A and B are shown apart, each in its own frame.
Chain A
């Protein structure tokens, strides 16, 4: 080889070695931010159906709602503070008199950073969930419409090249348009960058058991490839451009893996060996049990878990306190499970919890079994929420803001997670999040 050819080939090889690592599976060049965030995994809990600051982070129990002086902390896995000593109704047993013991020896707040007073973008659930996942105020977002702007899932998959099976949304139900949130209708993003979704209480509940639990197993090498080949031929013959009905880009191997997971879940549900929290007497708690199974099986880069049991506060304050206590129990279990049962995620995962909206300052007219007043969500108090982060990349024991000094917006969560996972510049560069939104790390 002469000198000229050697230099040419060496130059090409050097250029190739520089470029190749930046080519994503989707074929696009890697984003400017280049990945490498502070966390390898993020678990983001949409918490938990409209939470008043008063009974959560402010720990006022009955004091700010029922003209009763009893105060105390019913969320001791998340926040430091002594529990109420009287009128205990939120636990287990008859009348809820037995509080659920704390799972964590040290609260998540002490392990992480708390934004004590943030602002929600919407006083409604779906608008709130959309603002958390789209990073927009979603003023034109319809209630039974898929997100109009890209979701966190799509940003992650498009800009960080993450596989579908590493991107999960676990919902507690199929109500309230929850299943619509796994991808948007934005033309530059959409289904091909969407997240996998399960509503485990349906998928693996009695209905799923009846209709999904007895699937015939086809051989992945002998039988399924011909099916997909014939399907591809039929699809090529079809003149319509199909967008809405397509999958989310799971490869055949990923589909097989998800089907295997489903088989395992049906089996373990029947055996009673799902990784449920110690107390699992609510839909939120069983949802978290299956979310733990998703974490253990797939080790997702991003997992979003939606809880909503707290919304019973529309008609029962007693039930609300119990649901709040259980949502805290769910958070403790989730964090404990990650640290003790998923070694691949222990130490490199960030856990985040932010309510999609708060609840009213004033009650409605409904009294519950304890003659306590119930609360809807529509006024300014419904825009008051907290934010909690713990784990990889998060400063420990930090409190930011307060009642008189709100810091942070719910629309900040998209750039915050993007920063943790290393694609913040792509999110900001896309220009689709609400003006003024920024990573919560930039607000500290």
Chain B
């Protein structure tokens, strides 16, 4: 009987020591993490050329924030088809869009008040990505150096860029 109670007491003591050890092991340690860094190029995986229809539909959406009708998309694509120099055709299409009411373009003052925010927004709007630090710096310097560069001209250049032709 005495042997039984002794072994019970020993077991309880053992459990208590284990609990104390476990509680001690739960002490919060500092956690070290790494920020996610994208090692890919800024324009990765864009290797699918937009069709003329896709180009005008996306361009219109980017400039007006509204969609073209299917019929308008088809007709605009025919217009591009009818011009041999596609780069020239795109310039003419963009110039026509810019001449229409309803184009959603930030003001020059708004752009110059926060060039980095404008640049990031423009990259996101047209190229669906953030600019790299180098790109951000280049546009910051370019816009700062030339008071005649307007948001409209910047939008124009983005819409003409090779990257904008791909998705």
Chain B: interface residue total (CB-CB under 8 A): 47
Smallest Cβ distance from A294 to chain B, in angstroms? 12
Q: In this complex, what residue of A is CB-closest to B123?
A: A234
B92 touches A197 (CB 8 A): no
- Is the Cβ of B82 less than 8 Å from the Cβ of A203? yes
Q: How far is the CA of A198 from the CA of B81 in the complex (A)?
A: 9
B128-156 near A? 1/0 per residue, CB < 8 Å: 00001001001100100010110001101
CB of B87 closer than 8 Å to a CB of A:
yes
Contact A239 B99 (CB under 8 A): no
Per-residue 0/1 for A192-204: is the Cβ within 8 Å of any B Cβ (1 yes, 0 no)? Answer: 0011111110110
* Cα–Cα distance between A213 and B100 once the two chains are bound (Å): 12
> What sequence of 0s and 1s flags, for each residue 226-248 of chain A, a beta carbon within 8 Å of any chain B beta carbon?
11111101110111101011111
Q: Knowing A202-B82, A234-B161, A248-B85, say if A212 contacts B96 (CB, 8 Å).
A: yes
Confirm or deny: B66 has a beta carbon within 8 angstroms of a beta carbon on chain A. no
Say yes or no for A67: interface residue by CB 8 A criterion.
no
Distance in angstroms between the alpha carbons of A405 and B139 in the assembled complex? 69
What number of residue pairs across chains A and B have CB atoms under 8 A from each other?
149
Picked from A169, A207, A235, the residue with its CB within 8 Å of the CB of B78 is: A207
Residues of B within 8 A of A255 (CB): 85, 87-88, 91
CB contacts (< 8 Å) of B166 on chain A: these are: 238, 240, 242
- Residues of A in contact (CB 8 Å), total 51
Q: Is the interface of B mostly helix, strand, loop or mixed?
A: helix
User: A174 contacts B43, CB within 8 Å?
Assistant: no
- Are B160 and A182 in contact, CB atoms less than 8 angstroms apart? no
A182 neighbours in B (Cβ, 8 Å): 84
The CA of A245 and the CA of B54, in the complex, are separated in Å by: 13
Q: How far is the CA of A196 from the CA of B85 in the complex (A)?
A: 6
Q: By CB atoms of chain B within 10 A, which of A164, A174, A182 has the most?
A: A174
Contact of A238 among B43, B84, B85 (CB under 8 A): B43
B11 is an interface residue with CB less than 8 A from chain A:
no
Contact residues in A for B139 (Cβ distance below 8 Å): 230
Is B165 interfacial (CB-CB < 8 Å)? Answer: yes
A273 within 8 A of B: no
Docked CA distance A259–B82 (Å): 14
CB neighbours (8 Å) of B47 from chain A are: 240
* Smallest Cβ-Cβ distance to B157: which chain A residue: A230
Nearest Cβ distance between residue B100 and chain A, in whole angstroms?
8
Tell whether, in the assembled complex, residue B49 and residue A244 are in contact, meaning their CB atoms are under 8 Å apart.
Answer: yes
Contact present for A215 and B99 (CB under 8 Å): yes
- Cα of A228 to Cα of B135 in the assembled complex, Å: 16
A–B pairs, 22, beta carbons within 8 Å: A169-B84, A197-B83, A199-B82, A202-B78, A202-B79, A207-B78, A210-B75, A214-B96, A227-B157, A230-B142, A230-B157, A234-B158, A234-B162, A237-B42, A238-B161, A239-B44, A240-B166, A242-B165, A247-B85, A248-B84, A255-B88, A259-B88
Interface residues in chain A, defined as those with a beta carbon under 8 Å from any beta carbon in chain B: 164, 169, 174, 179, 182, 194-200, 202-203, 207-208, 210-218, 222-223, 226-231, 233-235, 237-240, 242, 244-248, 250, 255, 258-259, 262
Given A179-B84, A207-B78, 19 extra CB contacts under 8 A: A174-B81, A194-B84, A196-B84, A199-B81, A199-B82, A202-B78, A202-B81, A208-B82, A212-B79, A216-B99, A222-B148, A223-B153, A230-B149, A234-B164, A245-B162, A245-B165, A246-B87, A255-B85, A259-B91
3 closest pairs, A vs B, by CB? A197-B84, A247-B87, A230-B157
